Amino acid sequence: MEGEREMWKAQGIDLKRNDEFLEAAGKIYGDVYMKQPNRPKGMGFFDFVMSEVHSIRPKEMIDHREKGGKVVGTFCVYVPDEIIFAANGIGVGLCCGSDFSFIDAEDILPTNLCPLIKSGMGFKKGMLSPYFEACDFIVGETTCDGKKKVWEIFDNYIPTYIMEVPQKKDPKQRELWLKEVELFKEKMEKESGVTITPEVLGEKIKLINARRKALERLYELRKSSPLPISGKDALLVSQIAFYDDPVRFTSKTNELCDELEERVKNGEGVVEPTAPRILVSGCPMVIPNWKLHHIVETSGAIVACEETCTGTRYFDTPIVDETPTDIDGQLKAIADRYLNIKCSCFTPNDDRIDQIIKFARDYRADGVIYYTLQFCLTYNVEYEKVKRALNKEGIPLLRIETDYSEEDTGQLKTRIEGFLERIS
């Protein structure tokens, strides 16, 4: 305890507010997670990671820097971790899921901005996150307008590099994206002083692919009935993937999957097989944002899958091709894989809509909840196309637009219960 306080102090963390945040987050975690019946034993590791959320991993990052490595913060699943790790770096997802830090952001950002962006800015500006303070620099991207512009402000607080993510997927844009991936490799080499060799990049491609395969295995198990794991627990595993050490994370997720496989074999579930199954589709949900899952799963239903960046979009495009053995081929394989991600920032984005329908079938969903964060224009506008397509397929759909506050919890619960009655 004393050691971690010393670490936070040296990082310049606001200790009083850090204590307040950890206390509040710990209470939410206890209420949301620890009261679930029949949890898999393998979730013990993830509970432990959460109990030490501001301690163990930030310490590992600081140690890594002391040994000469780099720590790089990211905010989007388009930024290739393979390249960061190949340059002796650690990549850490810095998106934030709490309104605790809004007060720190709202004097420099508009109030009517996506909560995910505001939260991240607030955690940095208010010196509230040991993860931010462990980073050498952050990597932003030109995805949505809010993020695109906020990087210019972030640069006042921490060095910020920006990757240009195109808005279309035609051959010209693919070329641009490949160039961006090549430039990012150069940036990482310059920052780290490490020349990325094909041997090391090949190893790191396998490392990150292994993490994807472990998550894919977890999600495959969620296609079973009864469900061997709650949606809340599966979401937590995905969220932790963004910052934990990839080797440890992969091993612990595979251990969890071994246990879940036994459960599936024995027909053991966390709820009755008759509980309505929900596919959640839309914006990412970042720690400690468990609001929607908690409402669904305390209303008699269960979340079977998330078509989000803290769900399938993180792993469910083919893994990076491991066959190229030269740098050019490897970078092209990386660029190709990442450009397959189906974010609403792209136009057209019909592949995403086909995928939602496929997931609804594969995960045997009784209904889809389309989840958007307030002021997220691209996911909000894309709803209209999703609605038409799902209506045509006869898949029940409920739209939820919310933020990080608890103020609308009662109203959301009423709407979700009404939806569940309709689909049961």
Using CB under 6 A as the criterion, which residues of the chain lie in contact with ligand SF4 when the complex forms?
A: 76-78, 114, 116-117, 143-144, 146-147, 283-284, 309, 341, 343, 345, 373, 376, 378-379
User: Nearest approach, Cβ of 113 to ligand SF4 (angstroms)?
Assistant: 8
Q: Give me the least distance between CB of 321 and ligand SF4, in Å please.
A: 21
Least Å from the CB of residue 224 to ligand SF4:
27
Instruction: For the CB of residue 79, give the shortest distance to ligand SF4 in the complex, in Å.
Output: 9
Q: How far is the CB of 149 from ligand SF4 (least distance, A)?
A: 11
Q: How far is CA 358 from the centre of its chain?
A: 21
Nearer to ligand SF4, 227 or 341 (CB): 341
Instruction: Give Cβ neighbours of residue 390 (< 8 Å, ≥ 6 apart).
Output: 356, 357, 360, 368, 396, 397
β-bridge partners, 73: 92, 138
Specify the residue, 74 or 192, whose C-beta has the smaller distance to ligand SF4.
74
**Residue closer to ligand SF4, measured from CB, 29 or 338:** 338
Give the residue with the Cβ less far from ligand SF4, 117 or 368: 117
- Using alpha carbons only, what angle is made at residue 324 by residues 320 and 326, rounded to the nearest 5 degrees? 120
The least distance separating ligand SF4 from the CB of residue 309, rounded to whole angstroms, comes to: 3
Residue 77 vs 400, nearer CB to ligand SF4: 77
Nearer to ligand SF4, 95 or 234 (CB): 95
- Nearest alpha-carbon partner for 248 in 214, 221, 222, 219: 214
Shortest distance, position 378 Cβ to ligand SF4, whole Å: 6
Give the residue among 47, 239, 59, 35 at the shortest CA–CA distance from 131: 59
How far apart are alpha carbons 251 and 260 in whole angstroms? 14
Token pair listed for 33 = 């997670």
Q: How far is the CB of 219 from ligand SF4 (least distance, A)?
A: 17
Q: Compare residues 379 and 404 and give the one whose CB is closer to ligand SF4.
A: 379
Residue with smaller CB distance to ligand SF4, 116 or 296: 116
Smaller CB separation from ligand SF4, 21 or 78: 78
Beta carbon of residue 88, minimum distance to ligand SF4 (angstroms, whole number): 25
